[in-house]
């Protein structure tokens, strides 16, 4: 498996891909599949090697741009299963701080820095496999656009032609991120990375910008199987996106995905979730949640000289008296348009979030909306202003795993109003803790949250009708909270399971075995 993230390694998780790489290999091993992972070391992941791994590193050279780059290779064992290997490739180009796997490019050059980094990673992996430094597998499993460069080299570079004999699978975790960059005349371009390539097949070109390479499209067109991370999302991406209605589908790649589907090479398999045997089932108190928030805010000040206004407002809200039995609406996630655009939508002169806060205040003066998340700074500024005006909105503009667990376990209703959701993990984690969810009817949320059974969903034909449906469903739920019907749904949420064992069996039977024949 070639990937950019790994949830079992400290500091290497950003999104859902990391959860898959943490949970899937051990589950595949139980099915008889030995899944090794290859990823950048980012300058710090190698420090997590176990005592038995040793510190010996191999160094080899790869062609990149107009020079040779030195790459180090280190094998460590998977923290969750010491019978599984993780191969870390390292080069100064990939060095980041823990938790900052990706680099935000400025100056109107989207993906430029990350495309540089993963273009180097693609040729490094190809060279390591060619030289036998990493054992050749029976199947290559690529994850997201970052591995499109490897797929491209495997397909069109004669030096790596023998790698075409190894069948490949692509998993798409987020179709909206495609890594598109110019073909030439730019420092971050295909011609700059691989100047020895002479001809480019049409399958790697961006459909909207034909003078650009689209690494995600390249990975789709040059792989033998394409996997989406939920059955419903797998159907949604066959339709074009529609900005007018707010529908997010194939994002310009629907024709390629339709082609895969026509050849029966497109597969939707739902992600799993971990269910620890020692999972804490005691519901934390409001005081524990408040103290957890204070700890997060305090820890964030370690290397700062001043306190951000957004943190000051959060601290003031946390000092307000809160009743132990107060109803808590919660949200945990990245602040992106995908996750919260509906909350920012204006409806009758107010944002949907303002309407939600007004409804909570009418329901009970003690009710609160706890939001934990960071990401887009403009979205955070909007929420900061609302938190300053509404004393029932507690906005913690950080991400902290321990605090998120407290929010999942203490909340009464988890809100997930995503515009699109390939699979989603937050709803699974909330359900695992016994907190029912109110979610939009998109992607993997449809596959995991059954309306009126283990949670509730809302839907609409456009963003305005979706916003009204959300508020209408919230009104209904506030009226019925605590009833026997509510308790039935909450119990069903707690009992719902999305096991990696079941997912691994589907990977084996729907992705790997069809490529290996009777192997």
Position 344 pLDDT exceeds 60: yes
Position 276 pLDDT exceeds 80: yes
Residue range 286-497, CATH number: 3.40.50.2000
Model confidence at 398, pLDDT cuts 50, 70, 90, reads: very high
Alpha helices by DSSP H, 265-349 = 286-299, 309-319, 337-344
Output the CA–CA distances (angstroms, integers) from residue 361 to 230, 261, 326, 394, 477, in the order listed.
36, 48, 11, 13, 14
Q: Give CA–CA dist 39/74, Å, rounded.
A: 10
Model confidence at 52, pLDDT cuts 50, 70, 90, reads: low
Q: What is the mean pLDDT of the chain?
A: 95
Position 313 pLDDT exceeds 70: yes
Please tell me the pTM assigned to this model.
Answer: 0.93
Say whether 286-497 and 16-272+501-516 share the same fold. Answer: yes
Query: DSSP state, 461?
Result: S
Q: What is the pLDDT of residue 54?
A: 53
* Least confident window among 44-48, 69-73, 248-252: 44-48
Sorted by sequence, the CB contacts under 8 Å of residue 491 that are 6+ apart come out as: 434
Q: What is the pLDDT of residue 248?
A: 95
Q: What is the pLDDT of residue 223?
A: 97
- Percent of the chain that is helix, strand, coil (3-state, to 5): 45, 15, 40
**Contact criterion met (CB below 8 Å) for 14 and 42:** no
Fold assignment, 16-272+501-516 = Rossmann fold (3.40.50)
Q: What is the pLDDT of residue 57?
A: 85
pLDDT, tens digit, 9 for 90 and up, residues 454-471: 999 999 999 999 999 999
Q: What is the pLDDT of residue 506?
A: 96
Q: What is the pLDDT of residue 519?
A: 44
Q: What is the pLDDT of residue 297?
A: 97
Domain ranges of the chain: 16-272+501-516, 286-497
Average pLDDT in the 154-179 region? Answer: 95
pLDDT, tens digit, 9 for 90 and up, residues 502-515: 999 999 999 999 99
């Amino acid at each position: 498996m070639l990937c950019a993230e790994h949830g079992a390694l400290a500091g290497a998780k950003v999104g859902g891909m990391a959860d898959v790489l943490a949970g899937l290999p051990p589950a595949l091993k139980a099915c008889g599949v030995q899944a090794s992972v290859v990823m950048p070391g980012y300058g710090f992941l190698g420090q997590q090697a176990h005592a038995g791994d040793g510190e010996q590193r191999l160094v080899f050279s790869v062609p990149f741009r107009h020079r040779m780059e030195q790459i180090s290779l280190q094998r460590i064992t998977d923290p969750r299963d010491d019978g599984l290997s993780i191969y870390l490739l390292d080069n100064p180009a990939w060095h980041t701080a823990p938790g900052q796997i990706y680099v935000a490019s400025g100056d109107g050059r989207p993906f430029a820095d990350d495309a540089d980094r993963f273009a180097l990673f693609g040729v490094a992996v190809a060279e390591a496999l060619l030289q036998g430094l990493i054992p050749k597998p029976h199947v290559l499993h690529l994850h997201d656009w970052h591995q499109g460069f490897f797929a491209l080299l495997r397909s069109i570079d004669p030096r790596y032609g023998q790698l075409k004999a190894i069948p490949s699978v692509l998993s798409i975790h987020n179709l909206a991120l495609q890594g598109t960059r110019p073909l030439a005349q730019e420092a971050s371009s295909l011609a700059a990375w691989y100047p020895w390539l002479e001809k480019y097949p049409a399958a790697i070109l961006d459909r909207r910008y034909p003078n650009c390479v689209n690494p995600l499209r390249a990975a789709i067109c040059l792989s033998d199987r394409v996997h989406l991370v939920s059955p419903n999302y797998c159907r949604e991406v066959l339709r074009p996106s529609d900005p007018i209605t707010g529908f997010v589908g194939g994002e310009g790649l629907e024709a390629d995905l339709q082609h895969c589907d026509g050849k029966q090479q497109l597969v939707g398999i739902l992600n799993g979730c971990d269910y620890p045997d020692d999972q804490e089932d005691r519901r934390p108190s409001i005081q524990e949640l408040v103290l957890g928030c204070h700890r997060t805010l305090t820890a964030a000040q370690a290397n700062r000289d001043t306190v951000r206004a957004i943190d000051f407002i959060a601290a003031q809200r946390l000092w307000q008296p809160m009743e132990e039995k107060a109803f808590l609406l919660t949200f945990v996630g990245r602040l992106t348009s995908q996750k919260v655009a509906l909350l920012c939508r204006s409806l009758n002169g107010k944002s949907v979030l303002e309407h939600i806060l007004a409804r909570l205040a009418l329901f009970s003066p003690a009710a609160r909306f706890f939001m934990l998340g960071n990401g887009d700074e403009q979205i955070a500024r909007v929420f900061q202003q609302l938190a300053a005006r509404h004393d029932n909105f507690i906005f913690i503009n950080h991400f902290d795993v321990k605090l998120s667990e407290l929010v999942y376990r203490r909340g009464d209703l988890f809100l997930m109003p995503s515009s699109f959701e390939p699979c989603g993990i937050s709803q699974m984690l909330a359900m695992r803790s016994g907190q029912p969810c109110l979610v939009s009817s998109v992607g993997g949320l449809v596959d995991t949250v059954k309306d009126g059974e283990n949670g509730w969903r809302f839907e609409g034909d456009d963003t305005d009708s979706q916003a009204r449906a959300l508020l209408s469903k919230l009104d209904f739920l506030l009226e019925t909270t605590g009833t026997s019907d509510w308790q039935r749904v909450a119990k069903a949420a707690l009992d719902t399971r999305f096991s990696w064992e079941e997912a691994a069996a589907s990977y084996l039977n729907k992705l790997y075995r069809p490529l290996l024949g009777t192997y």
